[in-house]
Structure 1
């Protein structure tokens, strides 16, 4: 509690008025030059100098005890009030003489006096009207002064509900013998303070009508609070009941009512009242203020590891591999890795190659492993069904929760290569490599090409050969954050680089350079198959003289176009015409020299990938889906090698032909997407498909091959979820907020764990740590070569994976019919099956088991699981989330 004085004087060091009817007399401020006694009108208050304990002081006194009907007034000057001080305290020090000490005056003598107050918005000067004053209290002494002993009283009274700019105090004597020593007028405040890391200002205490005054505070620097910090100031000037505690931000801890940065080598990941903790094992100790300790080079956190936990290394190779035969089977045994990388989740996988002469290939599914060829926790496996007279090579690999990062680890750098021996038909080559922290076997591939004169990239030696040494993984280091994601090393440059057609002064020049002109008479339109941004899309036939007739897709430009729209329309052809890859949609040519401009591409019978997967939900095995992804990744690798950034990679922009080959299409995002059917977030440079776009591209428009990798991760999710919409029915704002808060899409149902782990790598916040498309192609190839690696399924929680109304109708009520329920899960095609089987009520549906669902004719695994999971969701009355994918 603190107090603030309005006045504090001895003997009322103020302008005062001694009033006893008329006339009114004014005395100025009392000071040391005042005479020891002033003569006043008989019966009025007078100023007297007294000595007490050796000290002199002034009093205002009145002592007319022998006269009847006394009415002596003493008034202060105008006392200004602080606006928020509606309640003030008046502390009086005074002396009252015992009436019994006066001879013959006991009948008229009084031992009390009265305190009055009057409010005003301005100083009224010497004007005095008793009717303007209202009584505050009668002042009675606790101790009375006798003839021989002086007793000083102290009394405090409260003046409530003040509302005007100032006020006066007045003291009325009605016949007592009084000496007024001092008057102190003050109000109470709750002092400025810091509580629970919130700063609160000095606050005037309230009055009786506001016993607790609520005060809002502000979190101290580097502290935050989920709700506004508040506290209450009592009438006694004390703080009570703090609400809304502030907490230090990530990277800060509380030290004596302040938030100070975590010291170097420590961190704090969340806003909380916790202290900073030392960086865990195998992490980098950053400077002060760290919110997380990143892993040291060569160490990682598994996707399920907490970001605040220690980092782990990759396990070293298993040791002491031994092969023995028993009962026609081969028994492989080995010892655990010498270095587990600090993890306990070690598993093993077996890789087999069979060789006939000089030709070796994967054993595939021709041999049998017991208990399994992947996911082994024991250090032995039995191999059977081996063919005689063949050489087999078995490799045992150790895995852990961080093995998924192994494709990001670069092989040792080759520092020198030299020819040791040579003949007319052979060469013997040697090279040096840098040692690595965790040595693991690395295969090298040696290729050669015939001598090519005047080549920019090939350097023949005097023996007529040009020699290249490749490592299985890309070895160039990533550049700074503002690079374009590609290595600038001369030997790694692509043979062809994409040229932006918008750099041409005349866009028509780019079209002529990169696209073949087709005469419209060679094109036959057959059927409208869709609508593009600029016009309709047709299926048709292209018959060029001297060439075989081929089916094509024909994009047209709608009538009434502007010249800019025509140039934008044809710019896509200028881009497509530069590409030639099996997994990139092929441009057949353009029509530009006639009124109706057209772009002619190869025809993809099965259309857009997202719609095709939705139409064939559950019909493909994981192996087939991964094969589709491999094709898309190969196409994107080709584009990234050409320094082309797609910016709109999504399943809707992947086309599928009749052999299920996937090809990347739609190269027009350099235009503003005015009619984009997907929700987009408008920025200064156009519109962005939020659900597929990397956070740095949304925030800063930093489109790179790394942002295309993020988009590819979303495409992977779409494919494994059979065309499900990413983030379901969340709004764009909700998606952006969730991504920034580290939310990632959960694994789709039946998604292989290895595939989902690759998705998570594509969605790393730090774009420099995402895999390159070359890495992705290599990993998908490895999965396709080892189908057993796709058998381990990622965890799937149907309660959080999909958000659709599976337990109630659109109005929140239970489903009224089986057909309504089937329609909600997009399985209406089975309505007749349920009806024919006699399942016509939802109660009957709830009794069904998997075998019952099969018996009514649901055969596709995906459809069977969707219906089964939905029934499970219906039974779980506590869940409002769906358990199937659409």
Structure 2
């Protein structure tokens, strides 16, 4: 099978695509526009990629194809010629057009048949010619088709675009790897895009090379300003989006198109804003061009608080029609007036009242002072009336009322309205109450109060009338006393007798006021000792009652304390210390207990019809087949994004059972941090496992792609989600056995979910809760020592693995124990070595890692404890600020880990190879850094200048240099 017969169809297809491309693309390589031999290298030279040349309408069309589907262990490469990179292009787009044949359409094709190809890149500062070294290439992506050509039907041409970068050297090569697919490479086009020069929102932005989503700063046009530098996003498609920090025209200028022009005469603009110039307001003079404010006409003003847009106004005149009316209450009158004839057209008009007290003799007036009260007050009055209280009778008062506004200060004389009035004393006040001050067997001492306070210069006399209360007499006889003060002592009275009193006030002229009501008072008897005796008895009774009450209260409190203490002794123990007796509500059932895996599937998973699942795109390869992104139609939920695992044709019975077992395991779990099983397809030819779709993929890859971009608080939140999922599994008596960042998936909300249950097994009901296996592979770097040595897996061994996951997360996907061999890892752990704290790792998080790595598994925290600890850290962000100590000597694998204590690096490439950074060998050489002495002298900025841009790579190289310096100065190396 080959792809030579594309003919006119492919030629017209490529021409149509090329016509639709935008002019903003800067093309670095176009396979179809070459018009001659491409000169690409293939490896192996034979039986691999094959170049096909076709003449269409006099034009040469080159394609590369390979179709070795019936052979195992395929590794076919094709490499482009050297592609010169322009300095401004740090990222480029690679557009591929290709055709892939369906593996099922080949009779006898092996299970190794693939439907994907891999894209690689290698940077260089010069063309290396035919020196094709696969080790210098790094993988960019696995390319999967959206549409697969089935049988001998119509060709399905796929177009995929991938971003390659960041790039730092002068040029690069692209390579395509085939591992057993039937694929034809029709077109390869390498380009980068630019956002064109533009002016938006009064800000100018230069032409900018696209680099994913890039924030570009601009500058305001002439006579425009902005509190912060204007910026806008340049998208990967060469479009300008979301301008920020909008520029505004200065005061005196307005926007006309994308420029700022002066305000015309007769208009103004007082501040820098996006508003237009305004016509000068009322009572102002005509302004000049570019005016900031219009000046007021003569006699008109603005207050300091008035905006420039307000009209000018004149000060107010004097209030009109001022009058004074005496109120019924003594010493009070009400002043009233009308607004002034001239208000200036302002809405902030207020009034103030001034009071002077004048004597009857020579004309002398003094301020009334605080003695006189104004209701509601003497100033800032909005209403045209005020009540004046506490005025004295027989005195003359002069009141002046002044109107105020915001421009009153600009008038030297403030016109006012004045009135002079006096209060005349009429009726004396009424006696409101009479009090008994003292009584004896023959006398009563009384005093009384008046209804109102009288002026100091007014004196009153009082008429006191009293009589003996005698119910038998028909004629009432009063005794009358005239007094000059408000108290009196009445003597010569009879003992134990009740008397009735009433008092009235008299004015200075003798005018009587109103009588008070009658009050009754009694003189004492001669039996004083008996009264005292009764008082003593009453006091004694009160004391005895109080003592009895205190005794009762004390008894009740004691009884309550006894009951409370008994309740506490009989209550349930703290579940934290008695957790072994708490049984989970649901226990995991091992699907291998069923002889027929179909029974377990029917019990734990939902069978769905394949028609409700649509596979859209290959996103990976599983153990038994490919993994697709797809859509499932769900009642009540609509179209749901899902991941579809498939079982390849030609599977064995054991592969089918293992495939179904994983679904049976997943179907038993229901937790927000465990990957959710949507359903399975087992009753049709193509078996499928359908799970929820996680947009960001595996956690380790996501962290490496976002090295340094995620805050420590967010990382701890992701760890909390993983711990919550593992707590759920532990509560179900379930051991994962393969917990690692690669087996944790991340969705679009950065929510982590535990997945991949291929190695997991159930806990047996033995005292130790262990599961023993024989044979099989164990992930050494993530596995607890007892599980490695004795193959005993418990939730405690999962806790050890969780500690390794914590390290992976805080190190942004770094490989645990770096490039140490499995043997070296086991030896180091047995000698009590533990992974060092990643750089910038919070101390509290690293301490939790160390607890997870305790050799005695009984002392490790449980997942319940881990969730509680992480919750407390998230509730107190301040606890994440202290950073754990960092030792660069153990942050990378130095030569000492190989057992040679005195080994030194003989060359820079050898050193870079040891830390897995050999892709920068040419960069160091081009920068003139060829000896280890020069490496030791490098600083942080020197590393960047060499061309290292990725944060993780910069940290690895910097830590290695620090470790080498420490190794050189102390003449000692770290040895595991």
Give the structure-2-normalised TM-score: 0.37
1 or 2, which has the higher helix percentage?
2
Give the structure-1-normalised TM-score: 0.41
